[in-house]
Amino acid sequence: MKEYIIKRIEVTPNWEEIPTLKIDNVLWDSDDSIKAGAQLCTNGGYLFVHMWATEEDVLAEYTKPLSPVYKDSCLEFFFKIESQDNYFNFEINPNGAMILQYGPDISNRFNIIREDEKEYFDIRTNITPDGWELFYRIPRTFISTFYNIEYEFQGTLQANMYKCGGATRNYLSWSRVNSEKPNFHRPEDFGKMRFEA
């Protein structure tokens, strides 16, 4: 099982000091020229996420919340607290448009929508010379609300990170996905992310 240590920081990330994880499992006969990676860290109040993709043809058609961003170039983070059944999926395209859902599996989920989601999660994207990158932050209080506990960024998350592009047929994952057909909604294939003590 894949593992990653989420570094603790004082205030805001210096990404040059944060360990990188590779989203390098090429799935379902994908284009293997596309590369992706990510970094995560926490200051106790937020979980900071930085993801990027190296790809020649960056596709970014959708602009509205809950639009099918997985058909565009898309970077995704699925995670849950180890003791809980329900997980979050954050799916974001180069326009900063997002699908955000919560539930135990692909068939039993509900959509989460905030009118201020770009500001609330501080979603920022950049087109780079060889692809694109994404930054956002997840408040501790957001996670606490859904799990109905006073959550702290400690212990272990079960999680996976993905790069996809449904229209361009590319699928990459950090932790290997054991499915014959494209399906990222498999908590049984999540890896472990441990918060630095």
Which residue numbers in the chain have pLDDT < 50? Answer: none
Chain segment 96-133, per-residue pLDDT in tens: 999 999 999 989 999 998 889 999 999 999 999 999 99
Under the phi-then-psi rule, with left for phi > 0, alpha for psi from -120 to 50, and beta for the rest, what region is 171?
beta
What pLDDT does 166 receive?
Answer: 65
What pLDDT does 167 receive?
Answer: 67
What pLDDT does 58 receive?
Answer: 93
What pLDDT does 124 receive?
Answer: 98
* CA geometry: angle 172, 64, 104, nearest 5 deg: 55
**List of residues 6+ apart from 27 with CB closer than 8 A:** 171, 172, 173, 177, 182
Which residues lie across from 128 on neighbouring strands? 131
Domain boundaries, the chain: 3-195
What pLDDT does 86 receive?
Answer: 96
The pLDDT mean for the chain works out to 93
Alpha carbons 84 and 68: distance in angstroms, whole number: 27
CATH architecture of 3-195: Sandwich (2.60)
User: Which letter does DSSP use for residue 129 in this model?
Assistant: T
Alpha carbons 82 and 89: distance in angstroms, whole number: 15
What pLDDT does 82 receive?
Answer: 86
What pLDDT does 148 receive?
Answer: 82
